Each structure stands twice: as structure tokens, then as C-alpha cells.
Amino acid sequence: MRVDELRQLAIFEKVSDERLEQLLAVGRTIEIEPGLQLFTEGDPADHWWVLVEGAIDLFRTVGREEARVGQMVPGRWAGGFRAWDDDGVYLATGRGVEFGRLLKVPAADLRDLMNEWLPLAVHLVRGVFGTARTIEATVRQREALITLGTLSAGLAHELNNPASAAVRTVASLADSLNEVLASLTRLAEGAITSEQFLALDRLRQDAGGPTGARTAMQVADAEDELGEWLEDHDVEDPWTLAATLAGAGVSVEWCDRAAEVLTGSALSTGLEWVAGTLSVGAQLSELREATGRVSELVGAVRSYTQMDRASLQPVNVVEGLDSTLVMLQHKLKEGVEVVRQYAPDLPRIDAYAGELNQVWTNLIDNAVDAMDGAGTLRVATRAEDDAVVIEIADSGPGLDPEVASRAFDAFFTTKDVGKGTGLGLDIARRVVVERHNGTIDLVREGDETVARIRLPR
């Protein structure tokens, strides 16, 4: 390789011929061919690679998948980090895609040359590299812990309600079952006939049918009517029974039919038995609803975290959006109205589902904060010829144009000290643009601030 070839590269434009000769003296030329692996992610970055001709694809391993994250073209360089960082490693795997050549320089020789040419620059690079890596690692860890804490607190709150309801229902269910058994024993002691019991059981099956939506006033009126009927027929503890029967939708007409089957004390005991079975059925329904809610939350967590799934997979975008909304439900309850506008038959896209869910989390969280916890959150999807478009819009006051232009910059935040790291939208941009070759924009349209994401199909 000759000096004039290096001179054509922008990186060496102002480097003297003498120094380029020194660089060529310690380096060597490597011929590239498609498929040739030049350096490997995670290995010590003990060589500096400068591409002169051809092209090199860069790959990173995510989970069990290898993802292309970029491409080197002539004039770009990689590696050599051990010239200023003793622990530097390659950040990606380099693999040739076109025939060409590159200059390979040992990091130790690069360090010696830099110390000779620009000793102050070496100290500055060392300081900046080490400080930036430490700060970024610390802040990203803090951001992850804050997000995890917020989601954990919200999930614990969401789980607490159905779990507590299930515990209360199980406790009262035991008492209800004991009452049913006791009333059944009293029926047997009253020597009612088998025909009477079978008729009462048929009436029990007819009780508590569909009543439609009833207001509290309608239920109270039904309870008053039943209580008066039970008092007129000398039924024991009439108003307690009336509350249970009215809640189950039992009518006075049904009670008239029961009075045709049983009379006297047998009627009172029979109604107690029916009320007990209806109460047990209602409690079982509550228990089913509570445990079903817990199961739904667990399913949402599995969908959100993409547990037991490959990293790159055909993704249902709507499923990820809905699971994220469930995870953030604690922030949406106060005064946020969620409007879903999902296009029917939205195609699946090949994507990293867990990473996209992190994008949805950051955007929805920011939207709710922008509305100060009250307003309309619109989540929409639509299909285009070559892409799927997702919009997350809020009815907040919006951002100043100057602020909006910097919204996706790393470490830029409009939140108060201690409430934001400025990494949320930067992470979203990296995931959408660099990982999925998509686009993400923040615009003001009408009364909404819209985050619009376009992901290639």
C-alpha cells in the first residue's frame, strides 16, 4: 500500500507523508473478500483497521441472533481501542462483503506513534473515552433501575387488587358453604319429600337468570319488594335473605312459585338454601374474575418481556402496544383516556419485540408526563406498502420547536432534576433507526403531539 492511496482518505488528509510512511511501516495490508471475518465482537481490540477499498459489514450478537448494525466504507476505521484503553474490545464483528483492501495496525504501535506525534491528544482521548464509558454505564444502569422500579410498582399495584379480592372471596366462600350445608341439614330434618326437594332444586336453577344492567336504585327497589314478601310469609331473617336474592335477580314471582312447593318453616329453610347456593355461585364468579385478571397480567408481562421467545421474530405490533399499556396501567388510571385506533389485519414485521416494547414504554411514559397525568392518549397503527406506521399521540401542550429538534439527543431532557436521564428517546431512536432501519419523528399536528414510528415490513 502506498502513501498516495492513504492520502485519498479524509482521515489522513492533513497527515504528513513522513507520518504516513511511519504508519505504513508498522502496519500491513489485508486483502478483503466476501465472507472473510476480520475481527470478532468481544475480542481484545488490539489492532486498528482502516478501510481503503471495498466494504465491510458490522454485526452484533443479540440473544441467539446475529444482527447487522452497520457497514464500513473507504475512509472508515474500527478497533484499535487498546491504544488508549487497556480493556478495549471490538464492539462488533467485521466481515467482508466486497473485494478490497485495508490497513491493519497493531494498537501498541498506534499508541507509540500517537505518543510521538500528539502526546496531549492521547491523554485527552484516554480521559474522554474512560469518562464517557463510566458516565454512560452509570446513567444507563440508573435509567434501567428507574424503569424497572416504576413498572414493578405499577404491576404490584395492579396485581394487589385482584389478589386481595381473591383472598377475601375465598375467606367468605368457606362461611357460605357452611351455611349451605347447615340449611341442607335442616331441610333433611324437616322431612321434606324428594319431590319437594327436586322441585325446589329446579326453582334454584331458574333463579338468578340474566337480569341485564341494573342501577343501584333498581336493586334497592327489588330488595324492598322481596323483604316485604318474606316478612308477609314469616320467613326468618327476611331482610338478609332479601339482599342476597335481590342481588342474584330473584323476583317476587319466583318466590310465589317457591311458596307453592314449601310451606311454613320448610319454606324459610328452603329459601336459605337457595340463597346460600346463589351466594356461593356469585363468589365463585368473583373468584374466577379475580384469578382471570391475575392470569391476564402475567400474560401481559410475558408478552412485554418476550420471555421464551427468539430475539428476532415475526412481531404483532398491536400485541406489544397493548401489553405495554397494561404494564403502564397505573399511570393511565388517574385522568388519561386511552384511544386505540388499530388498523385491521395489520401485517406482522420481523423485529426485536422486546426492544420495540421498550420504545413503546418510553414514548407512552413521556406522553403521559407531557399531559401532566390528564388528557387523551391516542395509540394508532396503519399499514403502508412497505412499512407499518405506529403513532403515539398526546393532548399535552407540546414542545417548543427548539426543544423538539433536540428531543432525540442523548442526555437531553426537559424533566426536573432527578426525574429524567435524557436517555428514553435516545434509546427509542437507536432501536427504531439503527436496529430496525426505521424512522421516528416528533411532530405537532393540530391539538396533538405525535411520535410517529415507521418500521419496514
- Please say if the pLDDT value at position 379 is more than 90: yes
Q: How many CB atoms lie within 10 A of CB 163?
A: 16
Provide the CB-side half-sphere exposure for 435 (13 A, CA). Answer: 23
The answer on 273 and 197 residing in a single domain is: yes
Total number of domains constituting the chain: 3
Q: 140 lies in a domain?
A: no
Tell me how far apart the terminal alpha carbons of the chain are, to the nearest angstrom: 43
**Domain's final residue, options 269, 297, 325:** 297
Q: Are 293 and 314 contained in the same domain? A: no
Q: Are residues 364 and 235 in the same domain?
A: no
DSSP character at residue 44: B
**Amino acid identity at 306:** Q
Are both 287 and 342 inside the same structural domain?
Answer: no
Neighbour-count burial of 137, counting CB atoms closer than 10 A to its CB (0-12 exposed, 13-18 middle, 19+ buried): exposed
Q: What is the pLDDT of residue 421?
A: 40
Read off the pLDDT of residues 285-320 as tens digits, 9 standing for 90 and up. 888 888 877 777 776 666 566 544 556 788 899 988
> Could you report the per-residue pLDDT of 207-230, keeping only the tens digit for each?
766 555 677 888 888 889 988 998
CATH code, 418: 3.30.565.10
Mark whether 185 and 292 lie in a shared domain.
Answer: yes
Nearest CA among 216, 204, 200 for reference residue 245: 204
- Smallest CA-to-CA distance from 342 within 318, 314, 316, 315 is with 318
Q: Which one, of 38, 34, 41, 35, lies nearest residue 66 by Cα?
A: 41
187 neighbors 270 (Cβ within 8 angstroms): yes
Q: Which three three-digit cell numbers place residue 232?
A: 308477609
Reduced to 3 states (helix: H, G, I; strand: E, B; else coil), residue 189 is helix
By residue count, the chain amounts to: 457
Q: Identify the pLDDT of residue 308.
A: 47
Is 327 in the same domain as 284?
no
Residue 207 near residue 278 (C-beta atoms within 8 A):
yes
> Own/partner pairs for 411-415, CB < 8 Å, 24+ apart?
411/139, 415/369
Q: Is the same domain home to 445 and 340?
A: yes
- Amino acid 140: pLDDT: 57
Nearest to 251 by CA among 284, 214, 287, 285: 214
Last residue of a domain, one of 94, 117, 140: 117
**Mean pLDDT for the stretch of residues 401-422:** 58
Both 404 and 321 in one domain: the answer is yes
Same domain, 291 and 350: no
Indicate if 164 and 111 belong to the same structural domain: no
Query: How far apart (Å, rounded) are the C-alpha atoms in residues 159 and 329?
Result: 11
Q: Any idea what DSSP says for residue 338? A: E
pLDDT score at 311? 65
Residues with Cβ within 8 Å of 66's Cβ and at least 6 positions away in sequence, in order, are 59, 60, 93
Q: Specify the 3-state DSSP secondary structure of 384.
A: coil
pLDDT at 97: 92
Is the Cα torsion angle 374, 332, 161, 158 positive or negative in sign?
Answer: negative
Helix (H, G, I), strand (E, B) or coil at 59: strand
CA 104 – CA 111 distance, rounded (Å): 14
The helix (H) or strand (E) run that includes residue 230 is helix 216-232
What average pLDDT does range 161-190 have in this prediction? 84
Task: Give SS3 for 102.
Answer: strand
Is residue 208 located within the same domain as residue 86? no
Going 28 to 33 to 34 to 37, the CA torsion angle's sign is: negative
Phi and psi based region of residue 44 (left: phi greater than 0; alpha: psi -120 to 50; beta: remaining): beta
Per-chain mean pLDDT for the chain:
82
Measured in whole angstroms, the distance separating CA 401 from the mean position of its chain's CA atoms is 29
Alpha-carbon dihedral sign for residues 295, 298, 304, 307: negative
- pLDDT-derived band at 32 (thresholds 50, 70, 90) equals very high
| Residue at a domain's end among 117, 141, 173 | 117
Give the tens place of pLDDT for each residue, 431-454: 888 888 899 998 888 889 999 999
Does residue 355 contact residue 305 with C-beta atoms inside 8 Å?
no
pLDDT reading at 429 higher than 80: yes
- Answer whether 366's CB lies under 8 Å from 398's CB: no
Range of the domain at 208: 157-297
Query: What single-letter amino acid sits at 270?
Result: G
